[in-house]
Structure 1
């Protein structure tokens, strides 16, 4: 490709609204343009990168026996209603009606639609199956931001496995996990496989692939000594045992007129946060619910939803709280409360001599025993793990890392095949409901995350496997016939070697050409100038290291070949 024929609208200044590094560089480098919030046009350079990412994913999916489909992006509501997710997906689902008034949706994901196709499976001999696609997904994200990292329209590689029994699902899950590890390695993405919540997807287990990045919005808890790693929605830790006093025979009231928060009760009345009980009043699937935690702990809402197999949670309003407990936030407690479900975090189990609100404004209770004085109906791990707490497996202090989710795999079970009536004839002739897995990678998010991982002050530093072009041949003059002929010759040789090469034949100053090549991140640059040619040499520069070497013109392609081979060998 010749640069003079390529549309690359590079910018000299950062876009004012770009927060993430990838957003800034992809706009500056002429890869993307925003149409509206959460919707981006991919320009030619981004399309080239995207196609290389897709091909890497496709190769690894083919290697595990997956077959590619393309399914509709618009779905009838009836299928989602049968699975129970028409209501669960809430406002994130784009919904519309056709001209006949039928309810439709733009697909957020395709579990239901692939399962409809699976209704044509007839026998256990048809299994296992692994089906996948690259398809546009739509999610009405409330706060799209960070360029391609949080959008409302994106491409996902989503695959689905159908197996006869649990051991088959385990195998399909493991195949995908290994394939994803190879994919992210080939993309140059560091990805941590972590335990995660299945959320609205359902199922028995899930693993997220998280790439460390300050641009991320997800927190991963990991152990530096062993392999333990989990999303904060799933993470646990081994809290140190607490030595409590015996407390009182019954809780004792004391006045706290100016203490409405955990910190104020500590500061004004000397009650440490870890000896307080925090009482949260929440509405979980339309039912008012009390959740109690240690005063210095934070609730993870997804853990609560998972513990109750619920779908939605929100804070109760001041009016709802007053009507249920007779007090305002700041003096709330669960002692003596009946008629409402009460959930307690496991960190409170067995605790004595604790302090909590008395459900009277400006009054607290002290000396209480949790299991004696609170009618807990459900115990669960509900709290957020923080840095420094002991690993649940080896006891080492845990780290909390900011990450971007780049992939997620689920063991779905039979949720969708049961809801949509998929059965096959088993070996003994009885009807058997297949068991499913679901596996996703966001393509444009992976593209942006690669930029977050591979950049410097000059611009993007693409890994060669996904770069829009692997080599740029830069001619320093378009009027010097010796320069143009040498550059054209190198361009033809590289094309003959099937190297993805860009010839910069623009009538621009050398500084502009160099800045653009560095900005868009081409891994190798061959610079052809009159002074070098007079000595029989060209410059070969490696973008990632900045190393520049003078090489004979006739040996330039061979030198480049050796550098590529060395790089590919180092990449494994």
Structure 2
């Protein structure tokens, strides 16, 4: 490609709305152009990067999976079968929906579990036909609340999603490991620093999932890991050993006046105890949607959730969401801290609530549960002689114990693990932290979808069996930018050879010099003939601007054709190392061929 004939415009200044280094460089280098919020045009250079990444992914997946193409437009009925329509349209609200001329609703696919299962259940009848693994690479649509960070969080993006189907859990686990190994090879080939971590399964579901994180300061996810390499998890999922609370200063149950102490810190300061000796009780509003039995519409119910945990701990929102959803009160569409205005009629003693706050305080009204859902974090459940609210404004109780003074609520892991706490597998291993960009996620879904959608095959015993299912995703466009985020420097992009849109850029210092242009044209042809993808910078710009653009574009090798041609020599520069050498013109093809092996 000749730059004088290409759709390429580089920029000296960063776009005002570019929030990350990768976004800045991709936009300045002419790889992307923003069209709207969360919407980007992939320009020629970006398309070449994505095609190379897709080719690499196919090389690793084709031995274990079959490529298909599933429709982006998905019938509402399939999502109703799985039970995810309300979750995606009401709870997370990330699914675009459209209505056709017959007034039937469809989804613009954010993911394809339902469609993939519908295809397989219609084609696979016997255990003899299993396992099956299919994948596709294409566009996905998600109505992100806050699109940001360029291609890292967009409304339309390129994704590789795969789905496997099995006769039994052992086969599913085997494929889960095979797909994880394929992801490992893909990321290793890219040369990026990455980490595989335990993850929360979210609305995709299943008991086991792993995320693949490219480490970068701009990453939206926090990874907690141990120095011995034996544990790594997304902070949403991470567990640890709670730091011991130590001996309580209280003995014997009593009520204490504590005016103006609505915060844990203020109450503990007045009571003379550590925050670890306090059980705080936090009120949340959980909204559940329950479909009507006739499938037409439904009702919303607000359930107050009372969470008890140690005063020095914080609630992990993802763990709490999962714990509340697991109580099967309907589809959880919203979970948020209680708004004082909502509970004004109930006269709740906010700031002084105890774990035994009676259900009778709830005002009787339509759509409101008459009872609290009560949950207690494991660490809080282990406390003895603790302090907590007395359910009266300006008072706490001290020296309290579970089962003696208060009924112990349902226990669950609800707290946020933090840096410095001891790992569960080894108390000598403290949790450390890094930021990561999630680029891949693999799930063992089990029979979740098959049970919901009635998808069965005939087992070896002649009886109908539910499919065991796996789901495996890679954000292709997100992964490309994640690599850019990690490998870019102050001069521009710095692609690994396997992703670079071109291997070599030929920079002609003076296009008016016939000798330089003739040598460039000849070398350009020789490189392409040798299978080396090459850009020819034949633009009428000064040499310094061309050199800056070569660095900005991130092409692995730059060959400069200038005054040295009078002696039959050119300059060869490696973008990654910055090393430069003078070589004979006739040696360039051999040098680059050897270096690219």
TM over 0.5: yes
1:222 aligns with 2:239: no
SS of 2:146's equivalent in the other structure is: coil
Q: Are the counterparts in 2 of residues 135 and 155 from structure 1 also a CA contact under 8 Å?
A: yes
Asked if 1:335 corresponds to 2:356, the answer is yes
Q: Supply the RMSD in Å over aligned alpha carbons.
A: 1.6
Equivalent pair of 1:337/1:374 in contact (CA under 8 Å) = no
Separation in 2, partners of 1:358, 1:242 = 21
Question: After the TM superposition, which of the residue ranges 556-565 and 293-302 deviates more from structure 2?
Answer: 556-565
2:157 corresponds to: 154
Deviation at 1:255, TM superposition (A): 2.2
Question: Hey, what's the Cα distance between the residues in 2 that align with 1:404 and 1:226?
Answer: 19
1:569 corresponds to which residue? none
Shift of the alpha carbon at 1:322? 4.8
Other-structure match for 2:531: 498
Q: Does 1:454 align with 2:487?
A: yes
1:359 to 2:380 alignment: no
Once the two structures are TM-superposed, the CA of residue 98 in structure 1 deviates from its matched residue by 1.2
Structure 1, 369-378 or 509-518: larger mean CA deviation: 369-378
Aligned to 1:200, the other structure's residue is in SS state coil
Deviation (angstroms), 1:278: 1.8
* Contact 1:342/1:376 (8 A) holds in 2: no
Whether the 8 Å CA contact 2:245–2:276 is kept in 1: the answer is no
- Pairwise CA distance, 1:353: 2.1
Alpha-carbon shift at residue 269 of structure 1 (Å): 4.3
1:260 maps to 2:282: no
How many residues get paired? 561
Q: Is 1:467 aligned with 2:500?
A: yes
Structure 1 residue 160 displacement after superposition: 0.2
Alpha-carbon distance in 2 for matches of 1:482, 1:319:
80
- Matches of 1:136 and 1:207 in 2, distance apart? 22
Establish whether residue 294 from structure 1 lines up as the match of residue 310 from structure 2: yes
Confirm or deny: 8 A CA contact 1:342 1:375 kept in the other structure: no
| Most deviating of 240-249 and 105-114 | 240-249
**C-alpha separation in 1, matches of 2:357 and 2:70:** 55
| Kept after mapping to 2: 8 A contact 1:208/1:409 | yes
Offset of 1:283 from its aligned partner? 2.4
Shifted more, 200-209 versus 339-348: the winner is: 339-348
1:315 to 334, 337, 348: 337
Q: Is 1:172 equivalent to 2:196 in the alignment?
A: no
Specify whether residues 533 and 318 from structure 1 end up closer, same or farther in structure 2 by C-alpha distance, changes over 3 A only.
same
After superposition, the C-alpha distances for 1:514-572 in whole angstroms (9 at most, x for unaligned) are: 1111111101101111x21122211110001110000111111111122222xxxxxxx
Q: What pairs up with 1:312-461 in 2 under 5 angstroms? A: 312-322=334-344, 326-335=347-356, 337=358, 339-395=371-427, 396-461=429-494
Do the aligned partners of 1:246 and 1:352 also contact (CA within 8 Å) in 2?
no
1:116 corresponds, among 115, 118, 123, to: 118
2:547 and 2:349 map into 1 onto residues whose CA distance is: 64
Write the distance in 2 (CA, Å) between the matches of 1:330 and 1:336. Answer: 12
Counterpart check, 1:211 vs 2:214: yes
In structure 2, what is the Cα distance between the partners aligned to 1:501 and 1:182?
27
**What 5-or-longer segments of structure 1 have no aligned partner?**
566-572
**Displacement, 1:374?**
2.9
Moved more, 178-187 or 360-369: 360-369
Structure-1 residue corresponding to 2:291 = none
Structure 2 residue corresponding to 1:131, chosen from 130, 134, 150: 134
Alignment partners' CA distance in 1, 2:473 and 2:14: 32
Structure-2 residue corresponding to 1:568: none
Indicate conservation of the 8 Å contact 1:289/1:340, yes or no: yes
Which range moves more in the overlay, 362-371 or 152-161? Answer: 362-371
Q: Structure 2 stretches of 5 or more lacking a match? A: 289-301, 327-331, 360-370
Q: Is the 8 A contact 2:357 2:391 kept in 1?
A: no
In the TM superposition, what whole-angstrom CA distance separates every residue of 1:403-438 from its partner, at most 9, and x where no partner exists? Answer: 111100000111112222222222222222210000
SS at match of 1:313: strand
Residue 76 of structure 2 is matched in structure 1 by 77
Rounded to whole Å, the distance in 2 between the matches of 1:362 and 1:97 is 55
> 1: CA distance between counterparts of 2:345 and 2:248?
34
- Tell me if the contact between 1:350 and 1:371 (Cα under 8 Å) persists in the aligned partners: no
Instruction: Specify the alignment match of 2:365 in structure 1.
Output: none
Q: Give TM-score scaled by structure 2 length.
A: 0.91
Secondary structure of 2:382's match?
Answer: coil
Give 1:279's match in structure 2, choosing from 275, 278, 281.
Answer: 281
Cα 1:371–1:387 change in 2 (3 A) is farther
1:479 aligns with 2:512: yes
Displacement of 1:299 after TM fit? Answer: 0.6
Aligned-residue offset at 1:177:
0.2
1:20 Cα deviation from its structure 2 partner: 1.0
With 542-551 and 475-484 compared, the bigger mean Cα shift is at 475-484
Q: Residue 189 of structure 1: CA displacement?
A: 2.5
Comparing 201-210 with 284-293, greater Cα deviation is found at 284-293
Report if the CA contact (8 A) 2:252-2:385 is conserved.
no
Q: Which residue of 2 aligns with 1:27?
A: 27
